[in-house]
């Protein structure tokens, strides 16, 4: 019998395993795929605590950022400390940034307001007629999502009593004696004192009745990446539509005074807000969009990419960045589960030995490490 089993080797499950190992526990992590393939590797790799309102999730993000930097100092997991820049496209969005900067300053979370000229000096690729001003968070980091989780798991396997087992689909988890019994699709059975289920958007293997009745939905996101370009675009770049979308900014009084003429309703209806992040190879990720479906019936909007959505993303990108030589090399979708109606995450426990944490939404890359630490501290003391 091992101390703990984790179901799901995405960022949430991996950081549960890490914090268990820090307490000296022996952990096995089961992953159904040959390697993590879902939201953990299909995202921008932007670690932005500034997108969360002051409080629980913002604190998780701050802890996660610090931990990413600490791990990067020990082994290369693809973390770069180039900051996050929000670009206001009009005076009303700038009012929100100014108020948010003050709110964060009061909690000790530093930021720097940028004038129009400072934003334009940050990168000569920003179009002057788009930029009004900006807000820069120097302490925030970028990840290479298609590298980070694999490098992290290799490091954890070597340094701690954590075993990652891939192509190992868990089909049943139940209380058994003084612990839990975990059954795999290949017939193998394992016992652990406790089992943690961090199953992303997979709701058909384990506890399907529970998940069918839960208030969970699936979000489909479309993203693209250019071929490598011959200019630098450092850090996480977020734009006016991000200011209008992210929860932190919605806490500002100035948010209610945002200019409706600059709302781009047709984009917001598709959940589009423009993000940019340059990868190590020089390519730039551009996106994204959000379309939703109830988790109880699966993702019923189809598995095809919408060319309309991609065209709208690219058109807005060209309104912000001067990229006449842009060539799109990759287009993909990401999927994550989230709670409906403002709930923050799905949590459920069975007999003080099985703990389910899923539907973290788009918060995973930024907040999972902090959330996992708190969960393990609460459960184990």
Each residue of 181-192: pLDDT tens digit?
Answer: 999 999 999 999
Element of type H or E holding 113: strand 112-114
- Could you tell me which of 44, 45, 54, 91 has the C-alpha nearest to residue 250? 54
> In 3-state terms, what secondary structure has residue 328?
strand
Total length of the chain: 381
For residues 303 and 159, state if they share a domain.
Answer: no
For residues 74 and 89, state if they share a domain.
Answer: no
Q: Express each pLDDT in 195-229 by its tens digit.
A: 999 999 999 889 999 999 999 999 999 999 999 99
pLDDT of residue 343: 85
For residues 306 and 229, state if they share a domain.
Answer: yes
Q: Are 4 and 25 in contact (CB under 8 A)?
A: yes
Range of the domain at 274: 84-138+216-341
For residues 272 and 155, state if they share a domain.
Answer: no
Q: What CATH number did the domain enclosing 105 receive?
A: 3.30.9.10
pLDDT of residue 299: 59
Residue 304 has pLDDT above 90, yes or no: no
For residues 284 and 329, state if they share a domain.
Answer: yes
For residues 124 and 196, state if they share a domain.
Answer: no
Number of domains in the chain: 2
Q: What CATH number did the domain enclosing 201 receive?
A: 3.50.50.60
For residues 147 and 74, state if they share a domain.
Answer: yes
pLDDT of residue 301: 56
pLDDT of residue 297: 77
For residues 154 and 287, state if they share a domain.
Answer: no
For residues 375 and 247, state if they share a domain.
Answer: no
For residues 42 and 188, state if they share a domain.
Answer: yes
For residues 154 and 42, state if they share a domain.
Answer: yes
Q: Are 62 and 366 in contact (CB under 8 A)?
A: no
- Summarize the confidence of residues 301-324 as an average pLDDT: 89
* Sign of the alpha-carbon dihedral angle for 370, 373, 379, 381: negative
For residues 334 and 347, state if they share a domain.
Answer: no
Q: Express each pLDDT in 259-290 by its tens digit.
A: 999 999 999 999 999 999 999 999 999 999 99
């Amino acid at each position: 019998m091992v101390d703990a089993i984790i179901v799901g080797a995405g960022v949430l499950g991996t950081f549960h395993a890490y914090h268990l190992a820090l307490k000296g526990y022996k952990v096995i992590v089961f992953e159904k795929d040959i390697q993590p393939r879902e939201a953990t590797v299909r995202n921008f790799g932007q670690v932005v605590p500034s997108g969360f309102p002051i409080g629980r999730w913002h604190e998780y993000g701050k802890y996660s950022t610090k931990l990413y930097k600490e791990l990067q100092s020990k082994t290369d997991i693809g973390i770069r400390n180039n900051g996050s820049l929000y670009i206001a496209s009009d005076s009303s969005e700038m009012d929100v940034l100014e108020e948010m900067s003050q709110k964060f300053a009061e909690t000790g979370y530093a930021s720097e307001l940028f004038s129009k000229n400072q934003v334009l000096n940050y990168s000569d690729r920003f179009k002057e007629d788009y930029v009004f001003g900006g807000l820069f968070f120097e302490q925030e980091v970028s990840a290479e999502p298609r590298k980070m989780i694999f490098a992290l798991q290799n490091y954890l396997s070597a340094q701690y009593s954590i075993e990652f087992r891939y192509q190992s689909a868990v089909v049943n988890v139940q209380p058994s004696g003084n612990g839990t019994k975990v059954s795999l699709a290949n017939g193998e059975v394992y016992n652990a004192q406790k089992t943690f289920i961090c199953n992303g958007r997979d709701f058909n293997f384990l506890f399907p009745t529970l998940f069918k009745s839960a208030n969970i939905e699936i979000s489909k996101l479309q993203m693209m990446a250019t071929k490598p370009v011959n200019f630098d675009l450092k850090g996480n770049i977020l734009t006016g539509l991000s200011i209008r979308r992210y929860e932190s900014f919605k806490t500002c009084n100035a948010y209610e005074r945002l200019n409706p003429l600059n709302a781009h309703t047709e984009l917001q209806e598709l959940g589009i807000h423009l993000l940019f992040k340059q990868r190590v190879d020089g390519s730039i990720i551009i996106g994204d969009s959000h379309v939703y479906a109830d988790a109880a019936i699966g993702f019923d909007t189809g598995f095809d990419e919408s060319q309309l959505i991609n065209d709208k993303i690219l058109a807005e990108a060209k309104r912000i960045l001067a990229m006449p030589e842009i060539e799109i090399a990759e287009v993909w979708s990401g999927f994550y589960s989230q709670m409906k109606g403002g709930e923050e995450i799905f949590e459920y426990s069975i007999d003080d030995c099985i703990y389910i944490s899923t539907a973290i939404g788009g918060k995973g890359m930024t907040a999972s490490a902090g959330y996992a630490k708190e969960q393990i501290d609460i459960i184990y003391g």
